[in-house]
Structure 1
Amino acid sequence: MIIKNFFLILIIAPFFVFAQNEIKGKIVDENLQPLPNASIYWLNSNIGTTSKLNGEFIIQKTNSEQNQLIISFIGYHSDTIEVLNNKKSIITSLKKTETLNTVKITENSSGIYIDRYQAEKIETITATELTKAACCELAGCFETQMSVQPKTTNIILDSKELSLLGLSGVYNQILIDGNPIISGLNYTYGISSIPGTIINKISISQGLASVQQGSNSITGQINIALKEYNKDETFFLNLYYNSFGAKQANVDFNFSTGKWKSIISLHTTQPSRKIDNNNDSFLDIPQTKKYSLYNKWIFGNTNEGLYTTTIIRFLNEQRIGGQINFNITENKGSSYIYGQVVEFQQPELYNKTSYKFNETRAITIETGISYHNQESFFGTTQYLANQTNYNIKIANILNWKTHKLVSGINYTRFNLNENIFFNENFTFNKTYQGIPKDEKIKSFFTENKFNWKSNNLQLITGIRADQHNEFGLFIIPRGLVKYNFSENSIIRFSIGSGWRTFNLFSEHTHLLASNKNIIIDENLKPEKAINYGLNILQAFYFDNLEMQITLDFYKTDFSNQIHPDYHHNPIEIHVHNFDGNSKSNSFQIEIALELIDELGIKLAYNYLDIFKLYENENKYSLPLTSKHHLLNTISYRPVDKNWYFDMNTHFVGKKKLTDTTLNPPTHQRSLYSDPFWIVNGQFTIKLPKSKLDIYIGCENIINYTQENPIISWQNPFGQYFDISNIWGPTKGREFYVGIRKSIT
């Protein structure tokens, strides 16, 4: 094989003259005959091209993260070529499907892959995968995988969180293009503020992540990589409409001026009809109106010298939920008709600038600022808040031998002003107030990535020192190790710690919907935990069959974990520190199959055990978490057809519910929920000549819904009104249709 590749290079090399940020190449078959119209594109990207009649191609390399090219041709095995920073030519031959061709990384029909070269387990949802469902917003982009589970935190306003390892979403870190700017208010509604069409890929790190982005990634990290400039697509249009009457539209525009490249994306969501299918007088779906702007600028070349990227985002959103006759003009804040209203504006600005001195030395500066201004009503309770997040990080990167050392300093500031007013408080005598914050954290970090044995053995050791202006010094060590027994057999292990401060109202706004008084029993300390992780990956390659088996086990031990206590008093919610044993155990197995390059099947099972141990050794399982979760996905993509079909099925086991035994019998609920199934499907037609995709789908095909999710819905201004026991779907079967149109 080596001799053959050398012979290919001797034959083809004279054809190429290289541009500074272009990769040129040629695709041939086993007999060195050119393959015209072969598909060439960057892994995890919408940047691609096709080969000419002579097999040659040119493709732009826009950033340093693009280092794997996917090359495919009908009737031949797809291949993946690793492109190093100093590599300018690609010469490869494809084998016909009758013969075996094992590759290192492939973006197969599942559209999800695990990076086999990193000690950190990184599961990537590709742009291809994101087209397998409607994916209207970030929270809807996880239907086809098991690692991240979106959970509803407020049924009336349909706010959600992204849960890793079964724990609350506040324990994982959400990044926007690597910038840790999401927390507090923009966490609560932030995951719904990002349209799915502007997402290029999603990288999920279960368990511990790098210390470079901060210490609050206790259960993991979710990095949202947004779209970049695409020279092969001037305009992109996405239109969406569902059976509830909700409408969405996205328009992208790509352009360049001089050495600058840019993409501008506009998005709007318009409200659905007023629907109350369970006849409880409350809307099943909030009336949501949203307008957003996304703009990314790129300058320079990541291979040398100066490179900078700047992101501008702006969001204006309004959500209205509550009783179906609620009128925002007449009833907002009143006790006549119950309603919840959230209106906010959120501008954001990010920049990442790097300068590469040579092949061994570079420096990066990352900055971000986010502002969130919110006015909201939860029944008669008014919540006014504004928040500013700042982040700046300077890092020095040193490549030495086969290793990499990154060290730097970081400054973050979290400034929150919040005020709570009770328009009519004579019945419940609520006494709680907003909790303003001005947190300042000065940090130093260093992280070394060691590679031995041709990168088969990798060790990452990192330490971070955080100086908090109120809570003092925190030292956060982390270690991750990976060993490749072979190209297709990998084991990983991780251990380390994390911490975060607790934001009661900004991250748990659903508490404001309760008519109970909220009592903070003591000064709340930072939450702290240690996480341990083990991952095993085994891949098998046969004729017409590829199989990958993944095993994960993660254990999280908290030394302080704060949970609002609903149980001990029917008219009060107590919030306090818990320095006893609080643990989470997560086990997951996943089997992914790809048959004859057309059919992708995935089976996954997740087991969770999340509990507290009190002084008397009584074990208390935390509510609203299922111990058992099954997932099956099927993706059928005929290679000679212009259509494909995707389906995913979830089984969710019973969940322990919030204790309601102190309520009157009419307002009590069972101690456990029912298990249930959710089935989603989508059919897509591709019209290549028109560059048009038409997609038709259905969510919750079997129409399963939780019965009477709102406790005491008949009297929303009464003592026992409660929206906290949400364990299943609350809206029924949803059909949708949409189009994606590209114009070059």
Structure 2
Amino acid sequence: MIIFLLVLCQLQAQRIKGEVHADGSVLPFANIAVRGTAYGAVANDEGIFEIRDLLPGKYQLEISYTGFVTVYRKVVLSEKDVFIKVELLPDDELDEVVVSGTLKPVSRMETPVPVEVYKPAFFQKNPSSNVFEALQQVNGVRPQINCNVCNTGDIHINGLEGPYTMVLIDGMPIVSGLSTVYGLSGIPNSLIERVEIVKGPASSLYGSEAVGGLINIITKDPELSGTFTADSYLTGYGAYNLDLGFKMSVGEIATTLLGVNYFNYDHPVDNNQDNFTDVTLQHRISVFDKFSFRRPENRVFRLAGRFFYEDRWGGEMQWTSEYRGGDEVYGESIYTKRWEVLGEYQLPVDPDLMFTFSYTDHDQNSWYGNTPFMAVQRIGFARLTWDQELGSHSLLSGISGRYNFYDDNTPATENAHGNLPDEVMIPGVFVQDEWRFDEKRSLLTGFRYDYDKRHGNIFTPRLAFKWKLTDTDILRLNAGTGFRVVNLFTEDHAALTGAREVVIEESLKPERSWNINLNYLKKVYSGSGNYLEMEMSAWYTYFNNIILPDYDTDPDQILYRNLDGYATTTGFSVNLDYHLANGLKFSFGGTLMDVKKNDGGETIRPVLTERFSSTWGISYTIIPWNLKIDYTGNLYGPMRLPLAGDLDPRNPDSPVWSIQNIQFTYIRSKKFEFYGGVKNLLDWTPDKGNPFLIARAEDPFDKNVEYDNDGNVMSTPDNPYALTFDPSYVYAPNQGVRVFAGLRCFID
């Protein structure tokens, strides 16, 4: 009888089997416990576990791993074994540390300034050769291409144009003005730790240009990075990209992280048949080296440098370098060289003083048809900060200096006596105090003073209130001002092409903005392993002295002056991230906004400003196949487009358009990933529904354009729409559907 009962129990006993993963990869040696019992298991090196001899019934599993959030899963055993898949989230994914909002490391849940964080895994869902293109998947952030021929561009945040966005590398403002599109190219993706984005003015900490927001690209700490990384892919258009990262020790002195990016695209394509290249051809090399020095008491000393070279051209299909600068075949050819140095050094004194510095030298040799543009820009920046805790107050104060040198061959750097480079030193001082009333409420106040000899004294105050409703509910109210000193020739490609005459109607004043932003962040983490993050923001920004180029008054001119009135942007955005315990992940972002300017009592919407936009992503890993699927996309509402005259037959507004992509990643092991997919699944290009994109593409030097006695373009049989050559009608990428394939390699 006893033997019979033992056999019966053995027949009824079941097993719980499963696999533990993190971000689609196996997580070896995780601990699995059956709560309330002595049963448990440890996953093997492939993340697989098995718990035997359980009788039918209801159980709760506790799955844990150091550095990850513990997950609880309910399991019901009946007559069959049960197989489960468990996805663990890193602790830092729930509560990242950020620095961009307050210039000091602080938990994202604790900072009074809303900061969005994007890690390499986010950008790997839709691989790109540069940060500029990768940002198209961030809600409220839009890379704007400003020329159909050379494909230069800038970054729009919440509908504001590129000059209002400050781009930082490791907190240093080395990407600016002339160098924006080039500075965002060639940063090896293998070296990027994360990208932090602040939407709204940050001039009280960072000075000029941080008017609409800032993008801070934070590179990896050499001490914490892997030994070797590689990422290489090829597209159906023939573009090839290679990223390499190497970690090495320099004796007992330092650790260095070397990154190399190489990009090549040399296959002209003209799918819209206007005899112009649809995509700019590029040959680019970038080398980035970062040192972390070992010092007593773990004091910080990091030093980094980058060299960047690029040769890009676009133009008529028959163009070759022998036509550069001539008027036989039109081409836009740009040679760019950049040197960058940046670092941070913690002084060996008490209290804590941190010295940060950067310097960049940008040399551009370019021809737009037969119009030369030769420019040099040098930016030096230094900042000394003092960080001190005084009771319930967290103080940060500092002094800074910014050196700008700019010279080119245009009227921007000329006077009656000849060439006059723009050279200015802008000293500044700032102070910031975060007053913690209690564990739930804090108030941050800040103030900055800068002096610019061209514009005089500039003051930028700041206020931020944080109310921690619960441990996972944060309400933030931010208000502040921003300013921008203007060097328009370094920021507006249309002013450089030679297609229009530039007219500056008055002495330009610095632009000013006032902003208020209300932000709500909610995180929900269930014991079953599901995770939801929701963030909502509403904002209002008011500008005066704003400089908006006037393309409408005269199709042959760009008129610049300070706005006789004001401009506003009002909007609402929402971000949702939902991670399910089975590994399925959803993300969605949506933005509604109203951007307008009032000039002399007339209210209009600026060109290239969408009313709404959205981004999304769906990811799922089929664990038995080691296959991860990523579907990403974005959608943009109509924008007013820059027409070249009253008879211009092109659409005055863009349609609703979307770029969607799919990627399949085969995770061979922890060291190798093979990926491939399709970009622009809908094959959307801006020429759809338009008779042409580039005005007068058949006559790029305007040799057959006729003018009346007042200098206006005349309508003729050869030029029925009374147009001149103009490539500035652009709002979306010209590349259609294309496949891509690549390989990633990781060695710890």
| Structure 1 and Structure 2 fold alike (TM over 0.5) | yes
Residue 463 of structure 1 is matched in structure 2 by: 447
Q: Judging changes above 3 Å, is the alpha-carbon distance between structure 1 residues 34 and 230 closer, same or farther for their aligned structure 2 residues?
A: farther
Contact 1:308 1:352 in 2 (8 A): yes
1:404 aligns with 2:386: no
Q: CA deviation at 1:217?
A: 1.2
Which residue of the other structure, out of 630, 643, 651, is the alignment partner of 1:670?
A: 651
2:328 aligned partner, one-letter code: Y
Q: Judging changes above 3 Å, is the alpha-carbon distance between structure 1 residues 483 and 661 closer, same or farther for their aligned structure 2 residues?
A: same
Deviates more, 1:671-680 or 1:557-566: 671-680
Deviates more, 1:627-636 or 1:377-386: 627-636
1:679 aligned partner, one-letter code: Q
Q: CA deviation at 1:629?
A: 1.3
Residue 73 of structure 2 is matched in structure 1 by: 97
1:155 aligned partner, one-letter code: N
The TM-score normalised by the length of structure 2 is: 0.82
1:741 aligns with 2:745: yes
How far apart are the structure 1 equivalents of 2:432 and 2:96?
A: 33
1:356-395 aligned at under 5 Å gives the runs 361-395=351-385
The TM-score normalised by the length of structure 1 is: 0.82
1:713-724 aligned at under 5 Å gives the runs 713-718=697-702, 720-724=724-728
Q: CA deviation at 1:33?
A: 7.2
How far apart are the structure 1 equivalents of 2:376 and 2:69?
A: 58
Cα offsets for 1:32-61 (capped at 9, x unmatched): 97856799xxxxxxxxxx9xxxxxxxxxxx
Residue 297 of structure 1 is matched in structure 2 by: 291
Q: CA deviation at 1:594?
A: 1.7
Which residue of the other structure, out of 392, 409, 414, is the alignment partner of 1:419?
A: 409
Which residue of the other structure, out of 261, 281, 291, is the alignment partner of 1:287?
A: 281
Residue 278 of structure 1 is matched in structure 2 by: 272
Contact 1:305 1:357 in 2 (8 A): no
1:306 aligns with 2:310: no
Residue 540 of structure 1 is matched in structure 2 by: 524
1:176 aligns with 2:169: yes
Residue 68 of structure 1 is matched in structure 2 by: none
1:60-79 aligned at under 5 Å gives the runs none
Q: CA deviation at 1:592?
A: 2.3
Q: Judging changes above 3 Å, is the alpha-carbon distance between structure 1 residues 514 and 587 closer, same or farther for their aligned structure 2 residues?
A: farther
Q: CA deviation at 1:668?
A: 3.2
Residue 126 of structure 2 is matched in structure 1 by: 133
Residue 233 of structure 2 is matched in structure 1 by: 240
Residue 572 of structure 1 is matched in structure 2 by: 557
Contact 1:681 1:699 in 2 (8 A): yes
Contact 1:624 1:725 in 2 (8 A): no
1:477 aligns with 2:458: no
Determine helix, strand or coil for the equivalent of 1:197.
helix
Q: Judging changes above 3 Å, is the alpha-carbon distance between structure 1 residues 380 and 619 closer, same or farther for their aligned structure 2 residues?
A: same
1:681 aligned partner, one-letter code: I
Q: Judging changes above 3 Å, is the alpha-carbon distance between structure 1 residues 274 and 630 closer, same or farther for their aligned structure 2 residues?
A: same
Contact 1:161 1:169 in 2 (8 A): yes
Q: CA deviation at 1:545?
A: 3.2
1:218 aligns with 2:211: yes
Contact 2:502 2:557 in 1 (8 A): yes
How far apart are the structure 2 equivalents of 1:215 and 1:353?
A: 24
Q: CA deviation at 1:183?
A: 1.4
How far apart are the structure 1 equivalents of 2:551 and 2:144?
A: 19
Q: CA deviation at 1:141?
A: 2.1
How far apart are the structure 2 equivalents of 1:676 and 1:451?
A: 46
Q: Judging changes above 3 Å, is the alpha-carbon distance between structure 1 residues 76 and 38 closer, same or farther for their aligned structure 2 residues?
A: farther
How far apart are the structure 1 equivalents of 2:329 and 2:43?
A: 66
1:549 aligns with 2:530: no
How far apart are the structure 1 equivalents of 2:397 and 2:97?
A: 34
How far apart are the structure 1 equivalents of 2:349 and 2:98?
A: 35
How far apart are the structure 1 equivalents of 2:91 and 2:141?
A: 22
1:268-667 aligned at under 5 Å gives the runs 268-300=262-294, 304-329=297-322, 331-355=323-347, 361-420=351-410, 436-454=421-439, 456-542=440-526, 543-616=528-601, 618-638=602-622, 642-662=626-646, 665=647, 667=648
Cα offsets for 1:334-390 (capped at 9, x unmatched): 1111000110110111110114757xx311001111001110001111011111100
How far apart are the structure 2 equivalents of 1:345 and 1:316?
A: 5
Which residue of the other structure, out of 681, 684, 692, is the alignment partner of 1:704?
A: 684
1:171 aligned partner, one-letter code: Y
Q: CA deviation at 1:222?
A: 0.8
Q: CA deviation at 1:638?
A: 4.3
Contact 2:694 2:725 in 1 (8 A): yes
How far apart are the structure 2 equivalents of 1:632 and 1:235?
A: 31
In structure 1, stretches of 5+ residues that fail to align are 1-24, 40-49, 51-74, 82-91, 422-430
Q: Judging changes above 3 Å, is the alpha-carbon distance between structure 1 residues 108 and 116 closer, same or farther for their aligned structure 2 residues?
A: closer
In structure 2, stretches of 5+ residues that fail to align are 1-28, 48-60, 76-85, 100-106, 706-723
How far apart are the structure 2 equivalents of 1:462 and 1:300?
A: 33
Determine helix, strand or coil for the equivalent of 1:107.
helix
RMSD: 3.1
Contact 2:87 2:582 in 1 (8 A): no
Q: CA deviation at 1:326?
A: 0.5
Q: CA deviation at 1:450?
A: 2.2
1:686 aligns with 2:667: yes
Deviates more, 1:699-708 or 1:635-644: 635-644
1:332 aligned partner, one-letter code: R
1:715 aligned partner, one-letter code: D
Cα offsets for 1:659-680 (capped at 9, x unmatched): 4443xx3x43222122122211
How far apart are the structure 2 equivalents of 1:95 and 1:523?
A: 63
Q: CA deviation at 1:639?
A: 5.4
1:369 aligned partner, one-letter code: Y
Cα offsets for 1:711-742 (capped at 9, x unmatched): 22121112611122212231111211111112
How far apart are the structure 2 equivalents of 1:272 and 1:225?
A: 31
Aligned length: 656
How far apart are the structure 2 equivalents of 1:145 and 1:93?
A: 26
Q: Judging changes above 3 Å, is the alpha-carbon distance between structure 1 residues 121 and 106 closer, same or farther for their aligned structure 2 residues?
A: same
Contact 1:134 1:140 in 2 (8 A): no
Q: CA deviation at 1:614?
A: 2.7
How far apart are the structure 1 equivalents of 2:425 and 2:96?
A: 42
How far apart are the structure 2 equivalents of 1:182 and 1:265?
A: 18
Determine helix, strand or coil for the equivalent of 1:371.
strand
Q: Judging changes above 3 Å, is the alpha-carbon distance between structure 1 residues 498 and 435 closer, same or farther for their aligned structure 2 residues?
A: farther
Contact 2:70 2:88 in 1 (8 A): no
1:112-131 aligned at under 5 Å gives the runs 115-131=108-124
2:146 aligned partner, one-letter code: T
Q: CA deviation at 1:283?
A: 0.5
How far apart are the structure 1 equivalents of 2:221 and 2:517?
A: 33
Q: CA deviation at 1:184?
A: 2.2
Q: CA deviation at 1:210?
A: 7.0
Q: Judging changes above 3 Å, is the alpha-carbon distance between structure 1 residues 324 and 659 closer, same or farther for their aligned structure 2 residues?
A: closer
Which residue of the other structure, out of 137, 147, 159, is the alignment partner of 1:154?
A: 147
Identity %: 25
How far apart are the structure 1 equivalents of 2:216 and 2:729?
A: 30
Deviates more, 1:160-169 or 1:312-321: 160-169
Q: CA deviation at 1:201?
A: 0.7
Q: CA deviation at 1:193?
A: 3.3
Q: CA deviation at 1:549?
A: 2.4
Residue 107 of structure 1 is matched in structure 2 by: 93
Q: CA deviation at 1:140?
A: 2.3
Q: CA deviation at 1:259?
A: 3.6
Deviates more, 1:108-117 or 1:650-659: 108-117
How far apart are the structure 2 equivalents of 1:144 and 1:153?
A: 19
